[in-house]
Amino acid sequence: MPTDEPKWEDQEETIVSFAQVPPQPTTEAQPPGAAAAGDEDATIVAPQKPGRAGLPDDRTVVAGERPVAEQVDLLAWLVISRTPSVRRGQIFTLDKPRSDIGRGADVAVFLNDPGVGHQHATVKYEIASDGTPQFVLYDLASTNGTFLNGKRVTSPAALKDGDRIRLGDTELAFKRL
């Protein structure tokens, strides 16, 4: 039973290409990313704030900035002490200036717990005001909260050997030499 409707094999293919437009030169009076006068098709982009050179991307907003160390000089780790999964006893070495905790694909400490956010909390290696290095726990605005030794973390908390961190139904023990 033949039909008169065109089939996909009969349709023409349209290829669209865009001409390359050279970038407009910027002047001292014009900030980078600003539109040139008379160019109604220009995209206006706000200039980026300069980042802190040499430091990793920092997604945590904290009043009273603390210096972050570039290299971890202490030996410390997190151990899963209680979990709804079968990973009890798994060890995560804290060998980077920032170690994110959660169930996202790009975190240093992966927890298979539905009560844990994709980026739930983080542990940073920082220099205290007296110059001593320390590991500090931050909650990353998680829905279910982060608890340190049974108390909810509402501000950065320095970790001590033997501290217990609870996220969802998972508990981690902090160990430091």
Average pLDDT over residues 67-95: 85
User: 171, exposed or middle or buried, with CB in 10 Å at 0-12, 13-18, 19+?
Assistant: middle
pLDDT recorded at residue 160: 96
Strands (E), 12-153: 76-82, 91-93, 98-102, 109-110, 121-127, 133-139, 146-148, 151-152
pLDDT digits (tens, 9 = 90+) for 110-147: 999 999 999 999 999 998 889 889 999 999 999 999 99
